[in-house]
Amino acid sequence: MGADHTGETSADADTPERLPQLSPRVKSALLWGAVGALTFLVLVQGYALLVGPLVSIAQGGAIAFVVGTGAAVAAYLFEYRIARWAARREMNGSDSTTSTDQK
């Protein structure tokens, strides 16, 4: 197996390049953004089917992009606060449930 003109062996050429990995927090935020955008599009489509077109396709796509971006930014910014709130709530809730179970 000889080297090609770049100096890599053919075994190196067969291995795919690794793309930079997104952090779980960024992945989560992007997925929430996609959920927000798609939810908006479903609601606009449902309104169009029941009542009539509310916005054009281009306007709906632009608004869905803004909604998705807003949802992604909000999810990124508030993830730690919500996780902390849920953990505190769980700790307080588990204390109250164990005390009521013992009575």
Give the integer Cα–Cα distance in Å for 38 and 57: 13
Task: Count CB atoms within 10 A of the CB of residue 29.
Answer: 21
pLDDT at 93 exceeding the cut of 70 = yes
Structure confidence by residue, pLDDT tens digits, 7-16: 555 555 566 7
Task: Count CB atoms within 10 A of the CB of residue 67.
Answer: 18
Residue 52: φ, ψ to 5°: 160, 165
Which two structure tokens, joined as six digits, stand for 96? 């109250």
Which two structure tokens, joined as six digits, stand for 15? 């291995």
Reduced to 3 states (helix: H, G, I; strand: E, B; else coil), residue 3 is strand
Kindly state the average pLDDT of the residues 24-28.
92
Structure confidence by residue, pLDDT tens digits, 39-66: 999 999 999 999 999 999 999 999 999 9
